[in-house]
Structure 1
Amino acid sequence: MGKALNEMSLEELWQLFPIVLKEHNPAYKQWHIDEKDQIENAVGKNVVKRINHIGSSSVKGLMSKPIIDILMEVSAEKVFY
């Protein structure tokens, strides 16, 4: 059995989880729209105040990791525990 993640050096972690930068992909915008729809369906549109595509993949022309980052804001009165 290998080392636990918290016992690995940064170099070992980078080997397991490399950071890959790619040219901007125009499909990122559609990925966000698709994910936004799925989030709204999962938590309910009445809970979601706003869902934004954030991070480097949201900026046209900027190299980024080939993933999208999403920030979801919820209405304070709709927060559930």
Structure 2
Amino acid sequence: MTKEELGKLYPIKLSEYTTNWEQLYEQEIKDLQTILGDNLALGFEHIGSTAIPGMLAKPTIDILVDIPEDTKLCEIIDKMPDNYIHMQEVTSYIMFVKGYTPTGLANESFHIHLGPKSKHFLWDRVFFRNYLIMNPNEQKEYINLKIKLQKKFKYDREGYTHGKSEYIKRITTKAKEIANSIKI
């Protein structure tokens, strides 16, 4: 399938925040814990816009899973059921999606990101999330950016994501500087 066809099948749709997203996250981590077990799933974080109360978001739940440093890809793939699709083009960590169907997104969709905490680029998403939760004015700026990008890149997920990257990098850097300045 071409990028254009994928864009038409899975367009960028933004939804108002709902507390249901937290419930979906909680249920999904229970499922993932059962699938992966305590030896592979060391911890979980709800990341992305669905983790930020009041945030406009694509209604896909992003979950970050802490895995042991020496985990082999096959250890994860062998355990994951067929309804989780391994995103092979993501090579810097392990990623699965769930809820992507041949006719579009299901009512419940997930992005499962797996990596050890040493992969800072992955775990920095927690700093970004926390900063936006604590800064409502920054949330408004991010919402405005997302609306602008959704209009421009409705059928181009890569363009939409790339359009947010400079903002996310700037806020993450600020959040990490603040966190480092208050460590005891």
Instruction: Flag structure 2 segments of 5+ consecutive residues without an equivalent.
Output: 75-184
TM-score after normalising by structure 1: 0.77
Measure how far apart 1:16 and its partner are.
2.6
For residue 60 of structure 2, the aligned residue among 62, 67, 75 is 67
Structure 1 residue aligned with 2:12 = 19
Q: Deviations over 1:28-80 (max 9, x none)?
A: 11111100011110011222111111001100000001110011111225x24
**Aligned length, in residue pairs:** 73
1:50 aligns to 2:43 (yes or no): yes
Output the CA distance in 1 between the equivalents of 2:13 and 2:19: 17
Structure 2: how far apart are the matches of 1:26 and 1:49? 25
If each structure's helix is expressed as a fraction of its own residues, which one has the higher value? 2
- 1:25-36 residue pairs with structure 2 within 5 A? 25-36=18-29
Question: Which contiguous aligned blocks of 4+ residues in structure 1 show a shift greater than 6 angstroms?
Answer: none
Scaled by the length of structure 2, what TM-score is found?
Answer: 0.36
With a CA cutoff of 8 Å and minimum separation of 6, indicate the structure with the bigger relative contact order. 1
Q: 1:76 aligns with which of 50, 58, 69?
A: 69
